[in-house]
Structure 1
Amino acid sequence: MKLVVIGGGPGGYVAAIRAAQLGADVTLVEKEALGGTCLNVGCIPTKVLLHSSELLEEIRGGEEIGIKIDGKVTVDWKGIQNRKSNVVNKLVSGVKGLLAVNKVKVIKGTAKFKAKDTVLITKQDGSSEKIKFDNAIIASGSVPFIPPIEGSKLPGVIDSTGALSLENNPKSLVIIGGGVIGVEFASIFNPLGCKVTIIEMLPYILPPVDREISELTKTKLVSEGIDMYNNCKVTKIEESKDGLKVLFTGDNGELSVEAEKVLVAVGRRSNIVNLEAEKNDIKTERGFILVNDKMETNVRGIYAIGDCTGKNMLAHVASDQGVVAAENIMGKNKKMDYKTVPACVYTKPEIASVGLTEEQAKEKGIDYKIGKFPLAANGKSLIMGENGGIIKFITDKKYDEVLGVHIFGPRATDLITEAALAIRLEATVEEIVSTVHAHPTIGEAMREAALAVNKEAIHMVNR
């Protein structure tokens, strides 16, 4: 069985490896570096920069934990960038090795459909090759979306990819967009001494996040010196003597702010323009490829996964979709279940959530209960100096089934897996509570939050 995978990101390369494990003859087409956006200009490089920023904050606060530092602490921007490149290169090399071991043929180039069983690959050297396939998986990913703002093409206006490879640490930065991308970049640059301003069109930041958690995050960011403008619409970007000026309107009328750089971080769009998918009857909607829960398109034998489907634009979702697609191609019967997909935001402290938010529970008319435990009452959080967070459980009132968990605190992105498993297994509060949690850990606060659902928390006053 011949399989062509278009795109070598976290969806594509995982699908290619899984299909090869099951006996498929796999060709993977990737026009740039293996690993896609996530590994090269997304998840991994941003987390490298975030780690450096977080470490700098901890060093500056050393005296609070009994560590005195003599001498000046400075930022080596080139050193940070070099480390980012080293981490990325090591991981890309690892992906390349895994594909080779699994005998996946990798072609550097771009692909477009010439028929429902044929792709034309244009290679980096300009030559082309037609490949017939039995099945194909489209994993072409996404690219940053730049809205039609006047002045958005001026020098100094950058997208998330450009923000990762700046030659110098900017003195000031305006971020248009208060979503996950915007907030994470604010958390990178603010500790490094850059004056950061966020402009968001909605009345709150981090739209997908439980509102209570997003408000706690906003308060924390503002307390750290980040200027925040909500309910504001950017109307124009223009040059100024200090760099760029962003003009916007809001509740207080017309406003403006100047900065050295402007980062546009309002989202991403699918990357399918050059595939000629629609010419070969592959259905799309609003620029995304339509798929069912088996990751099948409407054309028999052609599947699509990852950001190009618009289902849930997260790397770990793309990887799971890749496995589902590969296994269905190889004769299994698998379906995607999005109920237990965790979402993570790498602020300090971190944010992680899975399942229903409180707003979603209300919209669905669910009779629910809430249990909350403040991390100020957790020993490990106090030790780590990150005690302003919270763990929040949302449960069904009748059966105490866990419907959603939301964490704002240290290790949140690691802890969320317990919550995802609980929802996957339709666990109740009692099953969380009766599971022994180690001490001293942040994780034991999960048990306390579950206990708080029925006002039985041990290490706080129940109200």
Structure 2
Amino acid sequence: MSDNTLHIAVIGSGGAAMAAALKAAERGARITLIERGTIGGTCVNIGCVPSKIMIRASHITHLRKESPFDAGVSAQKAPKVDRAKLVQQQQARVEELRGAKYEGILYDHPAITVLRGDARFVDSHHLTVKLNDGGEQAVHFDRAFIGTGARPAEPSIPGLADTPYLTSTSALVLDTLPDRLIVIGAGFVALELAQAFARLGSKVTVLARSRLLSNEDLAIGEAIEAAFKRENIAVLQQTQTNRVNYINHEFILDTNRGTLRADQLLVAAGRTSNTELLNLEDIGVKTERGKIKVDKQLQTTVPGIYAAGDCTDQPQFVYVAAAGGSRAAVNMTGGEATLDLSAMPGVMFTDPQVATAGLTEAEALKRGFSVDTRVLDLENVPRALVNFDTHGFIKMVADRDSGRLLGMQAVTAEAGELIQTAVMALRTGMTVQAIGDELFPYLTMVEGLKLCAQTFTKDVKQLSCCAG
């Protein structure tokens, strides 16, 4: 490449940064990528990949203990869980994917140079990198992209910092199962890990400051609480932790619900953006509570400097990060692209899963829509009936005047596999009538969307099994 080639500095190597670097290189730019830690960022190393492996292992463990078919297919003996071997298997797959999808691609790419160290902005066109191997290197750039991600937040609970508590990062590689585990947090990460540990054999108590999944429709939190109750996972709502002590290898929590004790404490109460070392304030990049503010083009408040992913004010999903990074790269290289999050899917991988897209009923009302809603219980979904698992529901929110779908929420087995159909319907402005008239394969969970849509105009209990 010539000296006149557009030079873009990319800080980070996770989902957003990788997407930005590869798309910008594809469009002819020269890239210097700076990573201070492990190549690959959160998702492949300490997030999506290892957590879903752990969740799948716990699901298999649960099915070997009990299933809806135990009367005819009985377990011979209780499963023995070797947590150390599960972690070994999990981390081997993490290393495999990191090597194939991140390290191998970066180090083999002719347009990308990788620097290992801490980046700090000098001004809007210069960085200094404190190299991990010693010394510093100056980097001059035409454009810059920030994709530094986030880390588990540490709540300001007295005594907590002086204890060896677990975060979502350390919990995933914990090679022994605690007999008693307390989880502080009631969001996606907290609840996924709480159920996984419970199914592997720990006695788990979840502490929710308000209620489970307080940002979602109330019925979703209630359904997950009921699922946890069925599995003997204790849920304490409206619970404040006043102090944490660690004495004789035991965590002691002073709460408004009394004193609680556990062998391990997992704190999963949000994430903090990794932005404090970048010198953003001095160069004019605005943040709010550490999160970088970006516009629809993913540009920060400083022209030529872009950002995406968990370090910004965008939703913290890796596919949002990657989409943002890719679109930022288009804009950094002379194109025009925006990130439309109006139909963004969200999935929580508990059992049952939670999946959402578009607006909740409360959000639609707040935006001024006249809404019509329907909730379909799963005993009306043939796939759920033949699975002998009818816990949960599908809810649709529609515009009352036009019938256009505004949002959908589902608590079902494999909800993550059906949500994209709802996303496509939202993207194309489909009405619930049109969804109800579509062809859906019989005995699939996604058929529940058709049935829920049909409830706007008819009683689905009066339909034959696969009535069109």
Alpha-carbon contact 1:173-1:260 (below 8 Å) kept: yes
Contact 1:21 1:102 (8 Å CA) reproduced: no
SS at match of 1:209: coil
Alpha-carbon distance, 1:385 to partner? 4.1
The offset of 1:383, in angstroms, is 3.7
1:289 to 1:382, Cα distance in 2 relative to 1, 3 A: same
Structure 1 residue 127 displacement after superposition = 2.6
Distance 1:213 1:453 in 2: 21
Aligned partner of residue 292 in structure 1, secondary structure: coil
Who is 2:442 aligned against?
439
TM-score normalised by length of structure 2: 0.93
Comparing 392-401 and 425-434, the one that deviates more: 425-434
Q: 1:41-440 residue pairs with structure 2 within 5 A?
A: 41-61=46-66, 64=70, 66-95=72-101, 96-100=103-107, 102-103=109-110, 104-202=112-210, 204-241=211-248, 243-249=250-256, 254-440=257-443
**Taking structure 1 as reference, are residues 460 and 258 closer, same or farther at Cα in structure 2, changes over 3 Å only?**
farther
> 1:88: Cα distance to partner?
0.9
Distance 2:146 2:463 in 1: 51
Structure 1 pair 264/57, CA: closer, same or farther in 2 (3 Å)? same
Give the aligned residue type for 2:174.
L
Tell me, in whole angstroms, the C-alpha distance in 2 between the residues paired with 1:286 and 1:117. Answer: 25
Shift of 1:98: 3.0
Q: Give the secondary structure class of the aligned counterpart of 2:460.
A: coil
Task: Give the deviation of 1:65 after TM superposition.
Answer: 6.8
Alpha-carbon spacing, 1:43–1:123, altered in 2? closer, same or farther (3 Å): same
Work out the CA distance in 2 between the residues paired with 1:403 and 1:271.
34
Cα offset, 1:84, TM superposition: 1.2
Does residue 18 (structure 1) correspond to residue 18 (structure 2)? The answer is no
User: Alpha-carbon deviations, 1:17-57, whole Å to 9, x = none?
Assistant: 11111111112111222221121111111111100000111
| CA apart distance, 1:182 | 1.1
Q: Tell me the SS of whatever aligns to 2:162.
A: coil
* Secondary structure at the counterpart of residue 255 of structure 2: strand
Aligned-partner Cα distance in 2 for 1:274–1:460: 61
Q: Which runs of 5 or more structure 2 residues have no equivalent in the other structure? A: 1-5
Amino acid at match of 1:3: I
In structure 1, the residue matched to 2:12 is 7
CA contact (8 A) 2:213 2:220 kept: no
Aligned partner letter, 2:232: G
Counterparts of residues 448-459 of structure 1 (less than 5 Å): 448-457=451-460
Amino acid in structure 1 at the alignment position of 2:218 = R
Given that 2:297 and 2:328 are in contact with CA atoms closer than 8 Å, whether structure 1 keeps it comes out as: yes
Q: Using the TM superposition, give the Cα deviation of residue 140 of structure 1 relative to its aligned residue in structure 2, in angstroms.
A: 0.7
Q: Sequence identity, in percent?
A: 30
Query: Partner amino acid for 1:84?
Result: Q
Q: Which range moved further: 94-103 or 161-170?
A: 94-103
Q: Is the 8 A contact 1:8 1:29 kept in 2?
A: yes
Other-structure match for 1:30: 35
Return structure 1 stretches of 4+ with deviation > 4 angstroms: 458-461
C-alpha deviation, 1:242, in angstroms? 6.1
Take 2:282 and 2:396, find their aligned partners in 1: how far apart are those partners? 47
More displaced 10-residue stretch of structure 1: 239-248 or 33-42: 239-248
Q: 2:373·2:398 contact (CA, 8 Å) conserved in 1?
A: yes
Q: Please tell me whether the aligned partners of residues 160 and 263 of structure 1 are also in contact (alpha carbons under 8 angstroms).
A: yes
SS at match of 2:396: strand
1:204-238 C-alpha deviation (Å, 9 max, x unpaired): 21122221111111111122111111112110011
* Matches of 2:303 and 2:187, distance apart in 1: 36
1:148 offset after TM fit, Å? Answer: 1.5
Quick one: distance in 1 between partners of 2:54 and 2:168? Answer: 13
Which amino acid is 1:205 matched to? Answer: L
TM-score (norm 1): 0.94
Secondary structure (helix, strand or coil) at the match of 2:151 reads strand
